[in-house]
Amino acid sequence: MATPSHPKHYCGVFGIFGHPNAAELTYYGLYALQHRGQESAGIVATDGKQFYSHKGMGLVPAVFTSDVLHSLTGPAAIGHTRYSTTGSSTLANAQPLMVDCSKGKVAIAHNGNLTNAAMLRHELEANGSIFQTTVDSEIIVHLLAQPVRSGVSQSSLVDAVRRIEGAYSLVILTEQELIGVRDPHGFRPLSIGRLANGAYVLASETCAFDLIQAEFVRDVEPGEIVIINANGMSSIQAFPEHKRRAFCIFEYVYFARPDSTIAGSNVYKVRTEMGRQLAREQRIEADVVIPVPDSGVCAALGYSLESGIPFEMAFVRNHYVGRSFLQPSQLIRDFAVRVKLNLIGDLVKGKRVIIVDDSIVRGTTSKARVTSLKEAGATEVHFMVSCPPHINPCVYGIDFPERSKLMAANHSQEDIRKFLNADSLSYLSLDGMVKATGQPGNSFCLACYTGDYPVPYDASVDKHIIENRKSRGSGLGAELAAEAAQRRLL
């Protein structure tokens, strides 16, 4: 599989309790979270006695028809949009996952990535658990079904979340409750909203609340478990001693929708401030500032506002391009790149151009942008990036490739500039990026930039377990080896 030109989205989760049209509102919530995952979508609803489920591969509108939504009855539901960071892209791995155990029916939707997944899976299999999927989220389901360990916690839920490590924002559905869980570092966002009729809503981003006209209440705190049922909402802090926060700063840079508010900061404003900060740090004499749509728009606008250089939307995006399409190898040069963005040449001809994007991963797409600008007659092309260079992979749920495929990890800034054929290349500094959020740097995970991983990950443990499993003839050996390789720290 080719390495993506941008990091791919991971997952979006949504849940609602206390509305007669819970499944329909979940559908709209997932629609708003579509940007977080485009491989599969699923909804599980309950009427208090039975679970009703539907999952499918593809985008939310293609997976759910009116008839399907009408069959998902009950006042409570959870939903999930998925991009696979662990486990293959198959319907079996689509979420929410369901189980019927001695404690009743449980469904779970997970955003994130567990760093001790292989170890826990090995332990659970040794104790008789049988896994139906290759996603780490199923480990949580099996842990929830385990007996409570005496002396560790007062409930299987608290016990389960204390055993898993890494990044997780969860929505869990039982016959009588909706539960939201966030890991103690707070890697992934999860917010609480409320509808006019009193129904509670959980969502990865607040833009989902806007669509269904829910009022934002607050964020789920790191380490917090919120339990919503007929009596209202209660809260448990599963990690009262944990202090370090490590919210993924790349949510602000790229992943979250600009109309979402995270940790009290609007994403649009943060990205615009990143562009302003970039202009303060890297002032270039130019005639026009243009963004790479859509991820570079806010930062490019900020650069323009701070520098006084005019802003133009010279690249026009084709919003009807799917994730895959026929790619004639020689019929159209750089077809895969050009089909998505078309350049209005008259806006750049004879001009010194600043082009702003959120990141450079492999660099091939960025090079094509520079080439198209110069072919259109731009006299100079200055490439600006609204975050620092990515030099480390992510093990917490973002599909950053291994270190060997990250351009900035293997080449100097001057080498990258030459590869892009740009007249200059500039990145926003680490301090400048953090400053733009208006929050302290110790509240973020910056591992992809610095190599400081808040939750250590030992790839050698996975390797030992996987080799053990392969020696026993497990058909999942190759799949799990691929998962470990994808998460390995190099």
3-state DSSP call for residue 228?
A: strand
Distances, alpha carbon 183 to alpha carbons 51, 143, 222, 291, in Å: 26, 15, 6, 35
- First-to-last C-alpha distance (Å) of the chain: 19
Element housing 111 (H / E): strand 104-114
What is the distance between the alpha carbons of residues 404 and 486, in angstroms, rounded to a whole number? 12
Q: How far is CA 45 from the centre of its chain?
A: 24
Q: How many C-beta neighbours within 10 Å does residue 98 have?
A: 16
Q: Which residues contact 322 (CB under 8 A, 6 or more apart)?
A: none
Q: Which DSSP string do the residues of 10-60 spell out, in sequence order?
A: -EEEEEEES-TTHHHHHHHHHHHTGGG--SEEEEEEE-SS-EEEEEEES-H
Burial category of 237 from C-beta neighbours within 10 Å (exposed 0-12, middle 13-18, buried 19 and up)? middle
CA dist 290 and 375 (Å) reads 16
Please report the beta strands in 115-196, taking only residues with DSSP state E, as ranges in sequence order.
166-173, 178-182, 191-194
Tell me which amino acid residue 223 is.
G
* Sequence-ordered strand ranges (E) for 199-319: 200-203, 215-219, 224-229, 232-237, 247-248, 261-262, 265-266, 288-291, 315-317
Residues 6+ apart with CB under 8 A from 463: 484
Catalytic residue among 11, 298, 387, 445: 11
Rg (CA), the chain: 23
Distance CA 146, CA 102 (A): 9
**294: preceding bond cis by omega (within 30 degrees):** yes
- Confirm if 370 and 306 have CB atoms less than 8 A apart: no
CA-based nearest residue to 214, from 18, 438, 468: 18
Reply yes or no on whether 11 is catalytic: yes
Residues catalogued as catalytic: 11
